[in-house]
Amino acid sequence: MSLIAENIGFWYEKNNWLFQNVNFELKRGEVVGISGYSGCGKSTFAKVMANYLSPIAGRVVVDNKAFVKGSYQPVQMIYQHPEKALNPKWRMYRSLTESYQPDQEILDRFGIREEWYHRYPVEISGGEMQRFCIVRALAPETKFLIADEMTTMLDAVTQAKIWKELIKICRERNLGLMIISHETELLAKLCDRILSVQEMQCGV
């Protein structure tokens, strides 16, 4: 079972291709790193793989199926700025439980405290907010996770703790994990293999 890009291409400005003929496979249980210079199209590639944007050429297939509109998305994304991914008018508990009811074990693993539940996003720290976004993305229906510069805003100790837990969960649940980062050392430490958007265009 895997998340597959078949010859995908994307542009924002007509015919000005950001990437083209990209072939890529993320298998369940695998951790793959995506590297590349700023502006090369990593976040755009992530959004196409997560079905937030439709490819202009080619297609993305999840476990042999195209994406189904209106149902829970099996590919979930976690962003660099959690505050942009949360509704500022919702208390944290509402965002946390929007798609499923996380059990106590997973809340404990990410150190989420009950006293944060009733707060609004502006009333907790960036690192605390990011933990909510991670748990929220880990619904039972999630099969693949894409982390786009997920820990760039966090200190080294918090970063290490969060990655350790997330990778453990991905291995336990057999989830495919794509880690996008410009920090090559971080990718080297966490990933089974590392690719750049450019490399994928040559065809894998």
Ligand X SMILES: Nc1ncnc2c1ncn2[C@@H]1O[C@H](COP(=O)(O)OP(=O)(O)OP(=O)(O)O)[C@@H](O)[C@H]1O
Angstrom distance (rounded) from CA 96 to CA 73 = 16
Q: How far is the CB of 191 from ligand X (least distance, A)?
A: 17
- Distance between CA atoms of 7 and 20, rounded to whole angstroms? 7
Q: Among residue numbers 37 through 96, which ones bind Mg ion (CB under 5 A)?
A: 43
Closest separation in Å from C-beta 67 to Mg ion: 22
Tokens 């009733």 found at: 118
- For residues 6 to 25, the per-residue mask of contacts with ligand X, x marking binding by CB under 6 A and - elsewhere, is ------x-----x-------
Q: Which among 159, 27, 11 is positioned nearest to 80, based on CA atoms? A: 159
User: Binding segment for ligand X among 35-43, 63-71, 83-91, 152-160 (CB under 6 A)?
Assistant: 35-43
Residue 44, contacted partner among Mg ion, ligand X, none, CB below 5-8 A by kind = ligand X
Token pair 């079905």 is found at: 51
Contacts of range 89-93, beta carbons closer than 8 Å, 24 or more positions apart: 89/120, 90/120, 90/121, 91/117, 91/118, 91/119, 91/120, 92/116, 92/117, 92/118, 92/119, 92/120, 92/121, 92/124, 92/129, 92/132, 93/117, 93/118
41 binds, among ligand X, Mg ion, none (CB under 5 to 8 A by kind): ligand X
Residue type for position 97: T
Of residues 168-187, those binding Mg ion (CB under 5 A): none
Query: What is the closest distance, in whole angstroms, from the C-beta atom of residue 108 to ligand X in the complex?
Result: 32
Binding marks (x or -) toward ligand X, 36..75, rule CB under 6 A?
x-xxxxxxx-------------------------------
Interacting residue ranges for ligand X, rule: CB under 6 A? 12, 18, 36, 38-44, 182
